[in-house]
Structure formats: C-alpha cells, structure tokens
Amino acid sequence: MTPDPLADSIATGDWLRVEALAQVRLSLKPDDTQTRRYLALALERQNRLPEAFDAYQDLLAHLPSPPPSDVVHDLARLAFRLDQMDMAEKLYGFVVQSEPDNVTAIAGLA
C-alpha cells in the first residue's frame, strides 16, 4: 500500500502541511470532497476560523443534497464560534432533524 502524505500529516497533526497538500490535491481533483473536508479541518485546527467557515461552505456546495449531517454539524460549530448565532441555530436544527439524539446539536439549540 502506498503511503498517503495527506493522511500521515493529519495523523501527526501537521495542519500547515495538511493545508498545503490539500491545496495541491484540489488543484488536480477539484471535486474531491474528502480533500475539501481535510482543508476545512486544517484551517480550523490552525484557528483560522473565517477561512475554515468558508471552506466548509465550499464543501457543502460540492456535496449532494441533503448534505451529511456531520459536515453540517462542523459548520454549525464554526458559526457558533464566530458568533453567527442565527446561522448556527439553523444548522444545528438541520442536524437535529437528521439525528434527533445528537446531544451536541441539541445543546447548540439551547
């Protein structure tokens, strides 16, 4: 099995490298949604929250509808951290509709 430098960088928490590798991979495969998610995660882990928020929104634009609730949950968490409470509430509401027992999303609505 060929080593994956992107996966290795995620495993070691080298978020700058994850970002750089994701950018390169996306230049070659712009529809790679998993790499888009890695990019968003890397930006979030670097505490570059507005950029991470934009990256998650971009990811959602590339996913089928309805999007996976875990991605929506990540975006809701970022909206909350960015004090975008109306958006966070809307997104957490979507997650609760998909996963009525998701206590984190329920707490986000409180």
pLDDT, tens digit only, all 110 positions of the chain: 667 899 999 999 999 999 999 999 999 999 999 999 999 999 999 999 999 999 999 999 999 888 898 999 999 999 999 999 999 999 999 888 887 887 777 777 77
Q: List the structure tokens of 61.
A: 């634009």
Q: List the structure tokens of 12.
A: 């070691």
**pTM (predicted TM-score):** 0.86
- Dist CA 73 CA 106 (whole Å): 11
* Greatest alpha-carbon span in the chain: 46
